[in-house]
């Protein structure tokens, strides 16, 4: 049997093979660099939540904020809160010495010539529920003999029911303090000796949400028409599927809404929208945009720590100084001087030019190979820093809007703070069983967040007429 010896590849085939191997090696290197970069990301230099850091959370040795020059702690004029003795205590307990400290003779209370006082503030013993019986009397008319029954007060609808105060307390613990239903049942039994069924708690929540629907609609309209509002979105699990919670808020108002799609943005919006550069926000008509620079600072921090890009360090420093200058001008009630704004903008443009020059000098990234050997479509891949540079270039006006308008904040922290408690609820109790339950939660939390910003006592506010509260809302 004669074996055929394999023919040696031609020179052209060898060159083609070498080129293919080089391309594959470059693609693998790029993929390795990207995977190593992901390992370096955490909540301080990316958009990852702090919960994703786990036990490897880095020590916080630097802050994204510029130094204020003030000492840490309470500032001058800050009103402190501490316990102070009251002139008329609820109870007084007198203590007398039993014997003289010098000779040991017995001492009577009548020999007291003065005293020192110390006061202990404590909770009273939980009292049993107060039961109020409403009696609608039947009265017979003396003139015609007709019997007329009196009407029960509004809200008194059943032979036995819980009152507005205990309902408000249950709703507060369930939706503000985020106690799960079973733990809330145990708490009510331990503190008040009241055995409230989980089904009763769910019914209270449903009824409360229906009462607050008009209030939430008023808040929605006020936020939509506010000169500056913050918007953000986060994922929710409802019935085992991912749904979306949208937040629209100001310093005094908060509106939450649950949607099946992430891109279902709030309609009929006017003014300035502060957001995190999620592209669908730019499809909103008739609004101006302001970008969250806290996101930019985190991305720049990653470029400084991982890629060691010098332009990122300069831009980081510039944004911090610009934020500090804008904050000091806002505190003094004056606008930034036009010459200072021009100086910031010239420096901004110079840093961007330096960064673009740096990235244009880099070797192009290799495209990832497709299965089957085909070619990928679309623009060539760009490095992370290059993408950020292009965003800061094309969205310069939105990035620096806080310099020109004192009502525009440097970050979108308002919306992120308003969304944080909603995520905490998800951590505690998981997802929602039904879309209606999630909607009720969003309505009630809209009321709670707004009430807290308005300075209302939440339990008292729950007991009041929502329509009257809506008329008293402050918007500025």
Residues 17-36 have pLDDT tens digits of 888 888 778 778 777 777 77
Torsion of CA 110, 116, 122, 127, to 10 degrees: 20
Q: Which of 256, 226, 253 is nearest to 452 (CA)?
A: 253
Residue 80 C-beta-side C-alpha neighbours within 13 Å: 7
Q: Which residues contact 208 (CB under 8 A, 6 or more apart)?
A: 167, 171, 440, 444, 462
Q: Is 22 left (phi over 0), alpha (psi -120 to 50) or beta?
A: alpha
Q: By three-state DSSP, how is residue 228 classified?
A: strand
Q: Which pLDDT tens digits describe the chain residue by residue (476 residues)?
A: 555 556 787 878 787 888 888 877 877 877 777 777 777 777 666 666 666 666 666 666 565 555 666 777 777 777 777 888 999 999 999 999 989 888 888 888 888 889 999 999 998 888 888 899 999 999 999 999 899 999 999 889 999 999 889 999 999 999 999 999 899 999 999 888 889 999 999 999 999 999 999 999 999 999 999 999 999 998 888 888 889 999 999 999 999 999 988 888 888 899 999 999 999 999 999 999 999 999 999 999 989 988 889 999 999 999 999 999 999 999 999 999 999 999 999 999 999 999 999 989 888 876 666 655 556 666 778 888 899 999 999 999 999 999 999 999 999 999 999 998 888 888 888 888 889 989 999 999 999 999 999 999 999 999 999 999 999 999 98
Q: What is the C-alpha to C-alpha distance for residues 336 and 403, in angstroms, rounded to an integer?
A: 7
Element (H, E) at 374: none
Structure token digits, residue 310: 């010098």
Question: Which residue has tokens 């944080």?
Answer: 420
Report the predicted TM-score, pTM, of the whole model to 2 decimal places: 0.80
Q: What is the C-alpha to C-alpha distance for residues 287 and 272, in angstroms, rounded to an integer?
A: 6
């Amino acid at each position: 049997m004669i074996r055929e010896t394999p023919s040696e590849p031609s020179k052209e085939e060898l060159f083609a093979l070498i080129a293919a191997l080089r391309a594959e090696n470059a693609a693998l290197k790029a993929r390795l660099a990207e995977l190593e970069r992901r390992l370096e990301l955490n909540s301080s230099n990316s958009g990852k939540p702090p919960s994703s850091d786990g036990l490897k959370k880095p020590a916080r040795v630097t802050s994204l904020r510029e130094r204020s020059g003030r000492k840490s702690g309470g500032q001058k004029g800050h009103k402190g809160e501490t316990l102070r003795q009251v002139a008329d205590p609820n109870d007084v307990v007198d203590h007398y010495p039993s014997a003289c400290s010098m000779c040991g003779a017995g001492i009577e209370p009548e020999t007291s010539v003065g005293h020192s006082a110390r006061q202990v503030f404590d909770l009273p013993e939980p009292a049993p529920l107060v039961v109020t019986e409403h009696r609608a009397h039947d009265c017979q008319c003396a003139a015609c003999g007709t019997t007329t029954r009196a009407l029960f007060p509004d809200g008194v609808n059943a032979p036995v029911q819980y009152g507005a105060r205990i309902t408000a307390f249950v709703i507060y613990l369930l939706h503000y303090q985020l106690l799960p239903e079973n733990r809330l049942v145990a708490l009510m039994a331990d503190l008040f000796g009241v055995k409230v069924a989980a089904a009763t708690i769910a019914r209270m929540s449903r009824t409360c949400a229906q009462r607050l629907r008009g209030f939430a609609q008023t808040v929605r309209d006020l936020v939509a028409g506010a000169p500056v509002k913050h918007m953000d979105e986060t994922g929710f699990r409802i019935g085992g599927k991912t749904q979306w919670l949208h937040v629209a808020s100001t310093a005094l108002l908060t509106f939450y809404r649950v949607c099946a799609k992430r891109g279902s943005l709030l309609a009929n919006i006017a003014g300035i929208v502060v957001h995190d550069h999620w592209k669908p926000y730019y499809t909103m008509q008739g609004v101006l945009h302001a970008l969250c620079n806290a996101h930019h600072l985190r991305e720049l921090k990653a470029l400084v720590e991982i890629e060691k890009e010098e332009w990122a360090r300069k831009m980081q420093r510039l944004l911090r100084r610009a934020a500090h200058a804008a904050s000091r001008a806002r505190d003094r009630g004056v606008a930034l001087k036009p010459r200072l704004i021009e100086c910031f903008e010239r420096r901004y443009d110079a840093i961007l030019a330096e960064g673009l020059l740096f990235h244009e000098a880099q070797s192009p990234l290799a495209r990832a190979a497709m299965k089957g050997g085909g070619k990928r479509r679309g623009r060539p891949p760009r490095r992370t820093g290059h993408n950020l540079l292009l965003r800061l270039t094309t969205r310069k006006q939105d990035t620096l809007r806080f310099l020109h308008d004192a009502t525009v904040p440097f970050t979108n922290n308002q919306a992120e703070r308003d969304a944080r408690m909603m995520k905490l609820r998800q951590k505690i109790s998981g997802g929602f069983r039904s879309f209606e339950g999630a909607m009720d939660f969003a309505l009630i939390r809209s009321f709670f967040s707004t009430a807290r910003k308005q300075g209302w006592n939440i339990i008292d506010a729950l007991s009041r007429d929502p329509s009257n509260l809506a008329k008293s809302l402050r918007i500025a």
